[in-house]
Amino acid sequence: MNAIATDLSPEPTYLTVFAGEPNWLDAMRQRFAHIEAGQLQPKLRELVFVVGYMLNRYGDAARYHSQRALAAGASKDDLRLVLKILDFYRGLRGFQDAQKLLSLWRSGVFPEVKPPKSGSIADIFRKIVETRKYIANGFRVYAADGEWLRLYLQRSDAIKLAPRTLDERGVQLMSLAITLKNHGYSDNWNDGCIEVHENKTKALGSSDAEILEVVQILELCDSMTTAWEGRTLLGLDDAAE
């Protein structure tokens, strides 16, 4: 059993910032209890919390839930998998934002500026169709540099082969959480990534209730982060005040 540093928990900060407001705190406790009684596998639930807090830059809370995930049966390889998927989609997010903002792509044309070191971009696209059945806009954006596109696919394949304790259904649910939180509502054509992971995890047996719980966990992460901001940015750290 892995030791859990309870002093890293985000809940005491929330309780302090909103001390004296029993109805608000009761709702917080009931929301956590509601999630605890849900359908998500405990280690997967904790990993979704890790995702939410990492993308909120709330380090202590991310560390706390990573320890809870390990105690629930996750491995450090699972945590590394979270990092790999985060790394992958942060990069894609940057390129797809650029797709709307830079003249290189803004016209809707996908230029091929640099060829790959060997072969052609067309060869790479044929391989994508063989292995992934479709060519997403993300592939076309990366194809401005053929070698960069090849490395993008190498990273995608490495994620698929990464050691982990999660089954593929869990990986797709985790990817759904990461894309929901990372892509947000920036209108940058990333919605397709979210849809792909939702469809894949449902095809593998995930229920609507589990997907709903992912969204609810991400909301809880935002709630806890808001209280943390109240303490660190506004100085609301004294329950007696």
Count structural domains, the chain. 2
- Report residue 1's pLDDT band, with 50, 70 and 90 as the boundaries: very low
Sign of CA dihedral 209, 210, 213, 215: negative
- Return the HEC string of the chain: CCCCCHHHCCHHHHHHHCCCCHHHHHHHHHHHHHHHCCCCCHHHHHHHHHHHHHHCCCHHHHHHHHHHHHHCCCCHHHHHHHHHHHHHHHHHHHHHHHHHHCHHHHCCCCCCCECCCCCCHHHHHHHHHHHHCCCCHHHHHHCCEHHHHHHHHHHHHHHHHCCCCCCHHHHHHHHHHHHHHHHCCCCCCCHHHHHHHHHHHHHCCCCHHHHHHHHHHHHHHHHHHHHHHHHHHHCCCCCCC
Q: Are residues 150 and 192 in the same domain?
A: no
In which domain, by residue range, is 119 found? 92-164
Which of these three, 130, 164, 198, is where a domain ends? 164
- Percent above pLDDT 90 for the chain: 77
Q: Are residues 6 and 70 in the same domain?
A: yes
The answer on pLDDT for 240 being more than 70 is no
Q: Are residues 115 and 145 in the same domain?
A: yes
- Report residue 23's pLDDT band, with 50, 70 and 90 as the boundaries: very high
Which of these three, 164, 194, 220, is where a domain ends? 164
Which region holds residue 205: left if phi is over 0, alpha if psi is between -120 and 50, else beta? left
| Separation CA 87–CA 154 (nearest Å) | 13
Work out the average pLDDT over 223-232: 97
The answer on pLDDT for 25 being more than 70 is yes
Backbone torsions φ then ψ of 151, nearest 5 degrees? -70, -35
Instruction: Provide the pLDDT for residue 185.
Output: 54
The answer on pLDDT for 238 being more than 70 is no
- pTM summary value: 0.91
| Cβ neighbour number for residue 68 with a 10 Å cutoff | 21
- Report residue 191's pLDDT band, with 50, 70 and 90 as the boundaries: low
- Report residue 196's pLDDT band, with 50, 70 and 90 as the boundaries: confident
Q: How far is CA 222 from the centre of its chain?
A: 14
The answer on pLDDT for 164 being more than 80 is yes
Instruction: Provide the pLDDT for residue 52.
Output: 97
Please check whether residue 13 lies inside any domain of the structure.
yes
- Report residue 241's pLDDT band, with 50, 70 and 90 as the boundaries: low
Q: Are residues 156 and 179 in the same domain?
A: no
Instruction: Provide the pLDDT for residue 187.
Output: 56
Q: Are residues 69 and 1 in the same domain?
A: yes
